[in-house]
Structures are given as structure tokens and as C-alpha cells.
Amino acid sequence: MFIITSHAKERMEKYFITEEMIKDCLSSPDKIIDTYEKRKIYQKNINGYMLRVIVEEKDINIVITCYKARRKRYEI
């Protein structure tokens, strides 16, 4: 279970990212990167680009932001 912030919702609209894509990335990521404190970056290769979802882990995870990036830049 997760909550999507208003900022993340804006990014979803800007980059044409659906909630289903977010769920897929969080449930079966290609890679998880630990960042500072309780934040993680979930990455999933989708249709030639890298979907990156930044999550703050709490009792209910919070999707801070998300975006599509060039796969080459974040190669797994």
C-alpha cells in the first residue's frame, strides 16, 4: 500500500505515468537503490525508458516523485 503525493501526481500527468505503472514498478522493480534515511529509488525498464519512483518508507509508503529517464543513463 502507498500514498501518492500531489507532486508525484503532477509528475505522473507530465510524463504520462499511470498508477498501474507505479504499482508495477514498486511490486517488481528491476533495481532498488538505497538513498539517504528511509528513501529508496525503485527502477523498472518499461518500453525503452527507465521509470524511476522515489519512495519514502513508512508504515504506509509515500511516493515522493516519479519520472521517466533515458535507460542508458540508469542502466541496470
Domain ranges in the chain are 2-70
pLDDT at 76 over 60: no
Enter the pTM of the model. 0.90
Q: Are 32 and 13 in contact (CB under 8 A)?
A: no
pLDDT at 20 over 90: yes
Task: Give the total residue count for the chain.
Answer: 76
What lies within 8 Å, CB to CB, of 43 at 6+ separation is 25, 29, 30, 31, 32, 33, 50, 51, 52, 53, 74, 76
Poorest-pLDDT segment among 24-28, 47-51, 70-74: 70-74
Match domain 2-70 to its CATH number in 1.10.3470, 2.60.40, 3.10.450, 3.40.50: 3.10.450
pLDDT digits (tens, 9 = 90+) for 30-42: 999 999 888 999 9
Burial (CB < 10 A; 0-12, 13-18, 19+), residue 63, is buried
pLDDT digits (tens, 9 = 90+) for 1-16: 899 999 999 999 999 9
Q: What is the mean pLDDT of the chain?
A: 92
> Grid coordinates representing 55?
519512495
